[in-house]
Amino acid sequence: MIRPGQKPVSLTRDQLRILAKLEGRPLPRGQGLAELLGMPPVTAWRLVRMLRQIGALRLVALLRLPPGICECVTYLKVGWADPDSLEALDAWILADAAITVAVRVTGAYDYRLSSRHADFRSATDWSRSLLLRPKVDKAVTQFCTVIADRPHYAAAILGADAG
pLDDT per residue over 142-158, tens digit each?
998 777 666 666 777 77
Enumerate long-range contacts of 115-122, CB under 8 Å, 24 or more apart.
115/71, 115/72, 115/73, 115/74, 116/65, 116/69, 116/70, 116/71, 116/72, 117/69, 117/70, 117/71, 117/72, 118/68, 118/69, 118/70, 119/68, 119/69, 119/70, 120/70, 122/70
Where are the strands (E) in the chain, listed by range? 70-78, 99-104, 111-117, 136-144
Determine the pLDDT at residue 53.
Answer: 85
Residue 162 pLDDT > 70, yes or no?
A: no
Write the class of the CATH domain 70-144.
alpha beta
Determine the pLDDT at residue 59.
Answer: 67
Sign of the CA dihedral 109, 114, 120, 121? negative
Strand, coil or helix: 23: coil
Strand, coil or helix: 113: strand
Residue ranges of domains in the chain: 13-53, 70-144
pLDDT per residue over 69-123, tens digit each?
889 999 999 887 666 667 888 888 999 999 989 999 999 999 999 999 988 999 9
Determine the pLDDT at residue 1.
Answer: 41
Give the CA count within 13 Å in the CB-facing half-sphere of 19: 26
Determine the pLDDT at residue 73.
Answer: 95
